[in-house]
Structures are given as C-alpha cells and as structure tokens.
C-alpha cells in the first residue's frame, strides 16, 4: 500500500511443495519468504478497511473489501503437484512442440539446453498474449538488440557482464535477464545480477519520483453516498462541495475539489477532462482539468482564496465550446475505427486514443503502413457517413445484451454489468463507450486525416481533425498552395513546374560540386607549398574560404598522407569549422 490512502492488514498463503522427508527435517513455516524454490506464496489478501492520513491516522472506510491477488502458474503447479511451473500443462505442450521442431529432448534439468527450452516456452507464451492483444510480430529493432549484446560482451572486464549493461539490454532492447544469463554462460561469462537489480530499482525509484504527488488529507464538508454525472445532458448545474484538498506535483500547487454532482466529464477512454468554471458566491474558480480517482470525479483549480465560503452553493459550468468540439472528435474516432476495419480488415482493433477539442489521435493494430490509397478510402467512408447525418444513438443495457448486439469493447477496459452503448447505424458502428458524443454525424461537418505513422511493432497511428478544426486545416492547406502558386507565377501546370525546378536545382548542385572539387585540388596544391617544420614534424595550418565542412575534412585527410599534422579552419555559414588530422 502507499504512504496514504486505502489500506489494511494482509495475509499471505504459502504452500510447501517439498517431499515428506524434507518437511520432517525443517518446518515449512521456517522457510516462508526465504526464497526456497519449493516453499512458495500463491495468494495474497489485503483487507481494505482503513484510510491512512498523512499523519498516520487510520480512519475506517465506509465500504470495506478484500483486495486479492493470485499467481496463476503457481496455483496450477500446486494443483498438478509439480515442482516447477514449466512442468505444468501451461508449458508442457509448447515444450513438446519445440522438441518436435528442434529434434532435441527436454530433460527437466538445469543444463543450458533445458534452460533454452524454458526460455523459448516462456517467450512463446508471452508473444501469444501480445498477439491476442493485437500486437503483431515485427523484426523492428531486432538487429539492434543482437548488436547490443555483442557490443556488451565485447567490452566485458574480468569475465563479468556489468549490472548496468545487463539492465541496458533489458530496458533498451527487451532482453530478459534469464536470456542474458544464458548467452553469458555460452561465452563463459558471469552476470552481475546484484548490479542489475540495483539498476532496476534505481529506474523504478526515478519513475516513482517523476510521478510522485504530495497530497494533503481531504477536508470533508458534505458526505454523499454517490456522485452523479449529469454532463451527458447538462453543461451547467447547481451543486455543493463535498471535499477538497491541496496537492503538490513537480513543485506546482493545485487544489482538488469533489462536487456532490457534476456536469464535468472526467478524463477517460482517451477523451480529455472538461474545463470550465465554478461559481461560489462572488468568486469564480477556473477548472483547468477533470480526472477520476478512486471512483471520485476530481476538479482541478489553480487557486483557492482563503476567504471563500466553500459551504455555499456552487454553480458548475462546463466550457461548452471546448466540450462540443471534443465530442465531435470522439464521435469521429468511432466512424474512423469502423472505416479502418472495412478497408484494412477485421484484425484492426483500437490500441489507444487521444480526443480533445483540437484534434484526434487513434492507435490501432495493423501489420503495415497504411497506403495513400487506403487512407483515401477511409476518409471517403467517414465523410459519406457524415453526409448521411446518421443519428448517434446511445443506450444503456446489460453487458451480455450489448455483446450479443455486436458491440465492440476495448481490450483491457473494465466494464460493469450495465454498459453504455454508442450506435452509429447498427450495421456500421456499435461500441461500448462512456464518452460524450454529438447528436448526429452531420454535426461533424468534415473529416480529414493529417498523418499516419508507426508507434510500435504492429501498431499504427492516425492523426485527424473534424468540424471547425478540419475546416481550418483545409483552409490553411489551400492558403499554402496559393502561396506556392504565387512563387511560381501561377503556372497552369504547377506540379510540372515544381518538378522542373527540382531537376534544375539538382543539375546546378552537380555543377557546384564539380567546381568545388576543382577548387579543392588547387587549394591542396597551394597548401603543399606552405608546409612548415616544427620540432622536426611537418605541419600545415591555414584559415580557408570554403562553403562546406565536408570539403575541409577531405582536404585534411588528403594532406595528412604526406605530413605529420594538419589544422584547417573556415567560417562556414557564420560558424567556425575546424578539421584536425594527425599521422
């Protein structure tokens, strides 16, 4: 548990898998948490019943529960009576398949070959999960990873791979420590695993420090059982403050406020949190963000005046213009998702998104770059659906009923028994979604894809705009095109004119390079007549007038073949460039 927040006593369930004769010699309880390979923890239960304040005070939680975690592989191992996770049927099928492919036998030992079998089985299992999640295999970066371990082995001292190097392989190239250990053994090397663990801990500490938030205890004004969100139908409501607190993150102070009911949408599902204002008496507080935390909707404000009366009614008002544009882009992501599945295939699945009032970003599973032709097809489908002005129908229903209807759910998202379903033509797009949306697709106006790129192996990203942002993007693009036409005196065939200009530029560049090459020959000949002898060594030093640094380097490398030292300098584009060569 953290320093503050929900906590409680815990229990650990351990199982002694040793044979009877070993149990008779040493009691299992004496080996608990002692890293014995056969006395293992399989289950942990934390009884959440208190809220720990900053001063250490424990307050009873209004709702108490058990936070439980179980090790799947270890539980299977206990049920099947095995002494290793790899001996269970979670892995035996994969190991048997590897035996057939390699024509080698797995002997359950700790030999290099047996370890290799286990490493392969473990990685195949991990890869299977990532493929099921839509993360497709790729060879991107694989050669870098292999070169990385070659480089590290090459710089080994005292036959030991340094802990920081083993961590670099893990952190940068994805090499697990067991694979590094295996490769090290094959090269008669050792791995500094203590150093590896220290580097791993150091990185975790850095990550925690970067995200650390110093939060004061909540000051409770009113207590309510539930905090309703009314923002699907209202942009403004009169409410009260339930609780507030001061938080400090990265040296910046803010205040978090919880309202009895709120029209502010909290950041979720890729959609950013609402902004707006809280009117309290004569004061008006600017809400700069809205997030969720432990089931609460948190409104962030920059200041909280000392003389403000927080017991008064609050008029909570969402920034309507920003919300509408954000809702427009959110509905656009649903249209985009469905269009991508039609054009690229049903393997396409959402992997992430960002939706705000300025643009949308949509990450999805796909194994190749989306071509210009495919992008054009996707845009055409989305804009056709916009012109059809399809009503955006939103229903709440049982989750099983929604799935039966064909609703798409995001992998990894948690859903309750009742879900919110967004339907844009039952034959086109049905998704589980808690975000805000427009009333009909015609409100989008227009949709335009700005960029397509890769973000990870098997994951592509599309950046796009809709509504007013799409209009502004198109206008800006046409303005740039108009400027280009003006630069070329408005030719009838602009593309042909640009191609001709590029060809002429290339030809001129070749002529300039030819002239510079002749100039370098002449400069070299002159410099060879200016060789100085200093302490018995031949030396050339000169400040030259050259247009590029490459020419300076070329001269130095050619002159050093017959001299001991060469120092050449030049003012290139207002910056000093120096080339030094020593024999």
pLDDT, one tens digit per residue, over 123-160 is 888 778 777 765 666 555 445 555 565 666 666 767 88
Residue 190 has phi, psi (to 5 degrees) of -115, 160
Average pLDDT rounded to a whole number, residues 437-461: 94
- d(CA 396, CA 416) in angstroms, rounded, equals 11
- Mean pLDDT of all residues in 82-108: 93
Q: Where would I find the beta strands (DSSP E) of 323-475? A: 350-355, 360-365, 393-398, 418-424, 429-432, 447-456, 459-466
- Tell me whether residue 361 is in a domain: yes
Highest mean pLDDT among 384-398, 401-415, 526-540: 384-398
Alpha carbon distances (Å) from 271 to 290, 428, 435? 11, 22, 7
Q: Would 105 be classed as within a structural domain?
A: no
Other CB atoms within 10 A of residue 219 CB: 11
**Domain-located, residue 535:** yes
Averaged pLDDT of the chain: 90
| Per-residue confidence (pLDDT) for residue 149, from 0 to 100 | 59
Same domain assignment for residues 444 and 546: no
Please give the pLDDT value at position 319: 98
Determine the straight-line distance between the first and last CA of the chain, rounded to whole angstroms. 64
**pLDDT exceeds 70 at position 17:** yes
pLDDT at position 350 over 90: yes
Question: Does any domain span residue 179?
Answer: no
| Residue 251 pLDDT level (bands cut at 50, 70, 90) | confident
Torsions phi, psi of 361, nearest 5?
-130, 130
Q: What percent of the chain has pLDDT over 90?
A: 67
Find the mean pLDDT for residues 195-213.
Answer: 83
Instruction: State whether 244 and 273 are in the same domain.
Output: yes
Q: What is the mean pLDDT of residues 185-193?
A: 86
How do beta strands 241-249 and 219-220 pair?
Answer: antiparallel
Do residues 242 and 220 touch, judged by C-beta distance below 8 A?
yes
Cα–Cα distances (Å) from 520 to 53, 543, 568, 572, in that order, read 75, 14, 13, 15
Residues 438 and 572 in one domain: no
pLDDT at position 332: 97
pLDDT by residue (tens digit) across 513-536? 888 889 899 999 999 999 999 999
Domain extent for 279: 214-318
Residue 475 in this model has a pLDDT that exceeds 80? yes
Name the strand (E) or helix (H) holding 137: none
Same domain, 364 and 307: no
Q: What is the phi-psi region of residue 273: left when phi exceeds 0, alpha when psi lies from -120 to 50, beta otherwise? A: beta
Tens of pLDDT along 535-583?
999 999 999 988 888 889 999 999 999 999 999 999 988 899 999 999 8
Q: Domain end: 287, 318, 349, which one?
A: 318
């Amino acid at each position: 548990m953290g320093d503050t927040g929900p906590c409680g006593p815990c229990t650990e369930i351990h199982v002694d898998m040793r044979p009877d004769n070993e149990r008779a010699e040493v009691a299992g309880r004496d080996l608990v948490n002692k890293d014995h390979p056969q006395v293992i923890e399989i289950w942990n239960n934390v009884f959440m019943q208190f809220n720990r304040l900053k001063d250490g005070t424990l307050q009873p939680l209004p709702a108490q529960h058990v936070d439980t975690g179980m090790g799947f592989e270890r539980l299977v191992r206990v049920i099947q009576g095995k002494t290793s996770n790899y001996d269970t049927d979670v892995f035996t099928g994969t190991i048997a398949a590897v035996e057939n492919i390699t024509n080698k036998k797995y002997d359950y030992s700790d030999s290099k070959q047996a370890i290799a079998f286990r490493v392969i089985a473990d990685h195949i299992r991990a890869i299977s999960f990532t493929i099921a999640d839509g993360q497709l295999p790729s060879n991107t970066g694989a050669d870098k990873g292999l070169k990385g371990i070659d480089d590290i082995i090459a710089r080994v001292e005292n036959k030991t791979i340094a802990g920081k190097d083993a961590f670099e392989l893990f952190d940068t190239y994805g090499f697990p420590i067991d694979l590094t250990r295996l490769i090290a053994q094959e090269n008669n090397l050792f791995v500094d695993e203590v150093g590896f663990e220290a580097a791993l801990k150091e990185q975790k500490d850095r990550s925690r420090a970067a995200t650390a938030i110093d939060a004061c205890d909540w000051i409770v004004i009113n207590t309510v059982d539930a905090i309703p969100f009314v923002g699907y139908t209202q942009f403004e409501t009169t409410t009260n403050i339930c609780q507030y607190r001061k938080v400090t993150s990265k040296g910046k102070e803010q205040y978090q406020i919880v309202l009895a009911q709120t029209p502010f949408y909290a950041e979720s599902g890729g959609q950013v949190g609402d902004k707006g204002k809280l009117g309290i008496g004569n004061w008006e507080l600017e809400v700069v963000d809205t997030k969720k935390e432990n089931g609460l909707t948190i409104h962030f404000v920059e200041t909280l005046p000392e003389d403000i009366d927080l017991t008064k009614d609050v008029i909570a008002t969402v920034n309507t213009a920003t919300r509408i544009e954000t809702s427009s882009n959110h509905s656009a992501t649903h249209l985009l998702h469905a269009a991508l599945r039609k054009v690229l295939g049903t393997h396409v699945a959402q992997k992430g998104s960002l939706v705000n009032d300025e643009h949308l970003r949509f990450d999805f599973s796909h194994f190749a770059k989306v071509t210009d032709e495919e992008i054009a097809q996707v845009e055409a489908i989305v804009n056709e659906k916009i012109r059809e002005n399809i009503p955006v129908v939103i229903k709440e229903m049982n989750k099983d009923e929604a799935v039966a209807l064909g609703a798409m759910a995001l992998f990894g998202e948690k859903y309750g028994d009742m879900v919110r379903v967004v339907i844009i033509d039952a034959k086109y797009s049905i998704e589980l979604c808690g975000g805000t949306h427009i009333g009909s697709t015609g409100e989008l106006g227009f949709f335009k894809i700005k960029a397509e790129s890769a973000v990870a192996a098997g994951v592509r990203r599309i950046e796009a705009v809709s509504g007013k942002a799409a209009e502004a993007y198109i206008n800006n693009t046409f303005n740039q095109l108009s400027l280009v036409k003006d630069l070329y005196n408005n030719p009838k065939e602009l593309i042909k004119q640009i191609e001709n200009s590029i060809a002429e530029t290339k030809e001129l560049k070749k002529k300039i390079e030819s002239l510079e090459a002749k100039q370098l020959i002449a400069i070299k000949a002159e410099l060879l007549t200016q060789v100085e002898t200093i302490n018995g060594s031949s030396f050339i030093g000169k400040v030259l007038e050259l247009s590029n640094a490459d020419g300076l380097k070329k001269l130095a490398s050619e002159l050093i073949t017959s001299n001991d030292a060469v120092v050449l300098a030049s003012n290139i584009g207002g910056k000093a460039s120096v080339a030094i060569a020593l024999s």
